[in-house]
Every structure is written in structure tokens, then in C-alpha cells.
Amino acid sequence: MALIQVQNVSKYFGTRELFRDISFEIYENDHIGLIGVNGCGKSTLLALLMHKEEWDAGRISLSRECRIGALEQALPEQLDATLYDITLTVFDGLRDLERELENIADRIAAGDPETERLVQRQFRLQEAFERKGGLTYRSRTRATLLGLGFAAEELRKKVSELSGGETRKALLARLLLSDANLLLLDEPTNHLDLQAVEWLEEFLLSFRGAYLVVSHDRYFLDRVTTRTIEMEHGTLRLTNGNYSRHQELKLDANQTAERQYQRTLREIRRIEGIIEQQRRWNQARNYVTIASKQKQIDRLKKDLVKPEAPPAQIRFQFSAPEPSGNEVIAVKDLEKSFGNQRLFQNVSFLIKKGEHVCLLGANGCGKTTLLRMLLGREPVDGGAYRIGANVQIGYFEQTSRGLDASKTIYDEVWDSFPRMEPQQIRNALGTFLFRGDDVFKTVGTLSGGELARVQLLKLMLGQSNLLLLDEPTNHLDIPSREQLEDALCNYNGTLLIVTHDRYFINRIADRILALSESGVAEFSGDWDAYRELLSMQPDTSCEEQPPVQQTQNAYVLARERRSARNRAKGELTRIEAQIAETEKQIENAERELARPELQSDYQQIAALAETLAERKAELDTLYQQWEKAEETLAAFTEE
């Protein structure tokens, strides 16, 4: 049964078309991922589904059985209530029932003259109470709050003391505990650490209902969705499958559409050549042929659809012209506390030139503080660290505090790189999608994604040989994350990255440092290798794991695997370029053969035909090589 039907819906903001004539349905137990670049209208679509905004055309129908749940804007205004109590208010109806049962029990115990009637009512209410989860709602509330990352002692925290991130987690807990049978989840993994994200995944996989989730977290989407809707060019692309499957099907569809488009263009040019030849012969019967061929062209042009160009993307390119020494960061027994609260101790590790290291840990364990200590911006309470010879550090700050809110984007970049020419600044900003008058926006008015782009541009222009990145993907959409990953994979410097993006970790990391209060545990490999190793130690966790030193052989194998994966990717790119060039040569040869003036030059026609046959044979060989290269690269992904 369809819970929601969307039929030919269009939405405009002024004269700007956000989307047009979109249609889809959400059925019971659907697990749908909604993706698209920043600003394409995903959040607006959620608002339309909840009837919180008006649409300009079409229809959105909700079934009578549809109970939509979405994140509230704020917690109920009970500032003296605890986190646990404010979360329990989602069960107010059930608690009223519980109080009535208690009242009935008291009246029966007191010998109320209407005891017989009260017992009958008690039986009915008790049955309803248990059916609605009355025996477990308190334990479910506690389990949900703990699962989303709150510590047991934090459940007694006052609502007025909650941070923005904690408030959002509390709102998410209330949503998950509601009786909704259709959840609309807008970036639900924001503010969650990795353990909480994995808990949320398990919750959704066991959820008895439907959900539509907006997310840029590709790993999360792969785990919890079975259908994908992509908003692109004002329309929808729907596929059965998770994010990765959707990308495969989309690539196939785009390649098929492009090949069909090019074939149709070649056919039109061929027929136009025939028409030109018929006109040159200038005989009566030729005009009949011309009219017939022209109708054929008209039909082809009517059905000809030029594939949409992909949205503009950021062009990252990080480089480190000046090499550092071999030992980049050496940390020995580092410790940090805030007042009586110990953050971490016994932190020791060594990062060498060219390593790509990801720093993981629970929220609040001190990852950002550790980066700031390495930058000299946070005092050290114990132990020591050393930054190696000729190390030039670039820092991406999660909060964007290093940017001047009063400056324009243009001035923010130019003041950091005053030797650059104005046009060079403009060109650099253009590659990061700041064009026209956008460059004169003040930093204080920018969105989270725009602030991230400004920081990343300054980082790229700085050409540092050590990059310390604190959650660099937080505000980036999926295409921007993929571009950033490609650039960092090819970066010739050293990386130390704090991130919760598991897909990103799998692409970038050759080593993981897991930070906890007792120290740091070291693991060779990416996220999947890290999780596999932890699964072999069922009684340990990221927070409890004692420091572990992996063997040098394991580290070398991880580096070799990453290098081989990059070589396979480079080979695939090279073959794709050769395919494009060969297809262009085939198109040119076919165009030459269709020229009317060549029709009587049999020698040239024969030579062109031979060249065309050779190029087509080369193309067949290249496609075979492409398939092998694709299989090789896929093997690294599956390992």
C-alpha cells in the first residue's frame, strides 16, 4: 500500500524552478535514500511531503494509515526537565493511560463500590497499555538515548544545559521513539560519532515501517536503503538499490544515452550527406528521395535528446612542492585534561612522510584538541611532541573560526595570498564555484558548505606538505566529497584527518589511530579492515581498546594495496581517454565518408573504409581492456 503518492509536482521560488513534474510513491516498509547536490531542493521536498509548504502544481496524497514523523525544530519548553524526562514526553498518551491504571488500582484497593465496573475497565486499559508498549517504553527510551551516544550520567542533564549537537540528538531520539510509520530523516547522522551511527543503522534495519532519508553519508546509505531517489536538473532519477547500486545504474544509463545521442547525430549527418548528393544530381526522382530523407531527419531530430551535462564541480588539486623530512609528527606520552576531567593520556605515535592517517574516536574524546596541540594552539599537560624538519602545516578547522566574518570571500583569500594577481584570485574562486558577484559575499553570511569551500581553497593555495583536517567533509555534498577524495588520494604530502565519514576513510586511509582516554590504538588499513579486526575482539571497543602496535609487514601491505589501487584507477582513466579519442576518430572517418564530393573517388573511399575498420577493431580491444581494468579496480573495493 502506498503511504504517499506524489503526482506531477512542481515547485518554484520566484522565477527559479526548483523541480518540475516529479512523481513517485512511498510504500509500507520502503527504505529510500534521497540524494542530490546542495541546494537542489531535498529539504524543500520533505517539507512538501509534510504539507508544511505549498507546491505550485501537481498533487501529494497521504493515505489514512500514514503517520509521518520528522525532526522537530526544538524540544518542548521545559528547561528544568532532564534529558531523560523530556524524551519520555513523546509517550505522554501512554503515560496518561498508566496514571489512569494506577488510579483504578488505588480505587479497587480502597474498596470502591464500583469495583466490578472498574475491574472490567482495568482489563481493557491494561490490554491497550501493553499493546502500545507500556511495559517497555522507559527501557526503550534509555536504550535509544544511550545508543545515540549519551552517557548514562548525561540522562540527568537539564534541557537548558544541552549543546546544539546534544539537542539535535535528543530530537532524533524522540523521533525514533514515536509511533510514526513513515520517518522523514534529514541528515540524521550529523553530530553522531561512529558508534552511534552504527547503532542508528541497526535501528533502521529493524524498523517496522518506511523511511525516506536525506544524507551525504554514502556508507550509511549503502547500509540502510534499498531504493534511491536522486534530484538532478529539476527532475528525479529513481532506482531500486542502495547508493552504490544507484551510481552503477546511473553510469550505465548515462553512457547508453550518450552513445545513443552520438549514433543519432552520426545518422543525421549521414542522411544529410545523401540529401546533398541527391541535390547535386538534380533529377526529378531525386527530389522524391530528398523529401523522404528530410522526413527521416525530422523524425530523428524530434526524438534527439542531448544528455544533461553534470552539475559544475569543485576542482581540487593539493600539492606539496617542498618535501618534509621523513619523520613528520612524533608524539610521546601526550596527555590533556580540562580541570578534573581527563581527556586522554599515554598518547604516543609516529607519522612518517607520505602517510595518510585517520584519527578516530568517540565524540568528546579529544580529537580536535589533539590537533590543536600539534599546532601549538592548545597547551600540553604532559608528554611531548615534535614536528619534523621542513614541515609546513595546513589546517582545516571544523568550526571555521579562522575565517574573518566581516570580510568578503575575495578579500579573505587575497589577504592570505597577497602576491597573487586579482585575476588569479578570481580564477581560483571560480574553480571552487564562487563566480560573479558571489565572490563579494561576506564570510559571515555563508552556509556551512560555502565556508568549507573557502577553507579548502585557502588550504589548496597554501601548498603545505602536512595537512591536518578536522571533519573536512561535514558540509560537502557527495560530488564534492568525491572530488576531495580524488585530490587527497593523489596528494604527495602527509595527511592526519579527523573524520566520521567511513566511505572517505576507506578511500583515503592506510592507517587508523583510535583515540581514547587511555591512549591511542594503531591499526593498519582502512575502515573495513579496522572493523574486521575489532569484530575478532568482541569484548573490546574503540573507546576501551588498549594501544596496539601493528607489525611493519601489515603496514607495508596496506601501503602496497593502496598504491596498487591508485595504479588500477590510473590505468582505467588512461583507457577511458583512449576510448574517447578512438570514438572521435571513428566519427571523423564516418563524416568524411559521407561527404558527397568523395562519392566518385573510389581510392580515397577505400582508404577511409580501411581506416574506419582499423579504428573499430581498436575500439573493441580498448573496451575489452576497460572491462579488465574495471574488474581489477572493483576487486580492491571488494577486499
- 204: how many CB neighbours lie within 10 A of its CB? 20
Grid coordinates given for 498? 579527523
CATH superfamily of 1-67+227-241: P-loop containing nucleotide triphosphate hydrolases (3.40.50.300)
pLDDT tens sequence across 164-177: 889 999 999 999 99
pLDDT of residue 622: 82
In contact, 176 and 202? CB cutoff 8 Å: no
With bands split at pLDDT 50, 70 and 90, how would you rate the model's confidence at 556? very low
In contact, 368 and 359? CB cutoff 8 Å: no
The domains of the chain are located at 1-67+227-241, 256-311, 327-392+463-550, 552-639
Q: What CA–CA distances, in Å, run from 387 to 325, 352, 459, 464, 494?
A: 10, 11, 19, 14, 12
- Three-state secondary structure string covering 265-277: HHHHHHHHHHHHH
pLDDT of residue 562: 59
In contact, 454 and 413? CB cutoff 8 Å: yes
In contact, 258 and 240? CB cutoff 8 Å: no
Per-residue pLDDT, averaged over 542-552, amounts to: 41
Decide if 1-67+227-241 and 327-392+463-550 have a common fold: yes
* Cα-Cα-Cα-Cα dihedral sign, residues 615, 616, 618, 623: positive
Residue burial 125-134, b: 16+ Cβ < 10 Å; e: rest:
beeebeeeeb
Grid coordinates given for 172? 532524533
Percent of the chain that is helix, strand, coil (3-state, to 5) = 50, 20, 30
Give the global pTM. 0.77
pLDDT tens sequence across 431-448: 898 998 899 999 999 988
pLDDT tens sequence across 82-139: 999 999 999 999 999 999 999 998 988 888 888 889 899 999 999 999 998 888 999 9
d(CA 431, CA 440): 16
Grid coordinates given for 550? 601493528
Which element (helix H / strand E) includes 171?
helix 164-177
Residues 6+ apart with CB under 8 A from 182: 3, 4, 26, 66, 67, 68, 69, 209, 210, 211, 212
d(CA 521, CA 544): 10
Lowest mean pLDDT among 243-247, 318-322, 395-399, 589-593: 589-593
Residue 55 gets which letter from DSSP? Answer: -
Task: Give the residue carrying C-alpha cell 572521435.
Answer: 584
In contact, 107 and 118? CB cutoff 8 Å: yes
Q: Among candidates 231, 177, 224, which has minimal Cα distance to 205?
A: 224
With bands split at pLDDT 50, 70 and 90, how would you rate the model's confidence at 409? very high
Which element (helix H / strand E) includes 32?
strand 31-35
With bands split at pLDDT 50, 70 and 90, how would you rate the model's confidence at 548? very low
Residues 6+ apart with CB under 8 A from 234: 17, 18, 19, 20
Per-residue pLDDT, averaged over 280-292, amounts to: 71
Share of the chain above pLDDT 70, in %: 93
pLDDT of residue 77: 80
State which amino acid sits at residue 157.
K
Grid coordinates given for 236? 528525479
Q: Among candidates 516, 265, 267, 483, which has minimal Cα distance to 370?
A: 516
Lowest mean pLDDT among 183-192, 285-294, 494-503: 285-294
With bands split at pLDDT 50, 70 and 90, how would you rate the model's confidence at 463? very high
State the distance between the two ends of the chain, measured CA to CA, in whole angstroms: 39
- 262: how many CB neighbours lie within 10 A of its CB? 15
d(CA 230, CA 221): 12
d(CA 293, CA 297): 6
Domain 327-392+463-550: top CATH class: alpha beta
With bands split at pLDDT 50, 70 and 90, how would you rate the model's confidence at 599? low
The DSSP secondary structure of 80-138, one letter per residue, reads: TSBHHHHHHGGGHHHHHHHHHHHHHHHHHHTT-TTHHHHHHHHHHHHHHHHHTTTTTHH
Phi, then psi, of 281 in degrees rounded to 5: -75, -30
In contact, 382 and 345? CB cutoff 8 Å: yes
d(CA 288, CA 278): 10
- Three-state secondary structure string covering 225-279: CCEEEEEECCEEEEEECCHHHHHHHHHHHHHHHHHHHHHHHHHHHHHHHHHHHHH
With bands split at pLDDT 50, 70 and 90, how would you rate the model's confidence at 604? confident
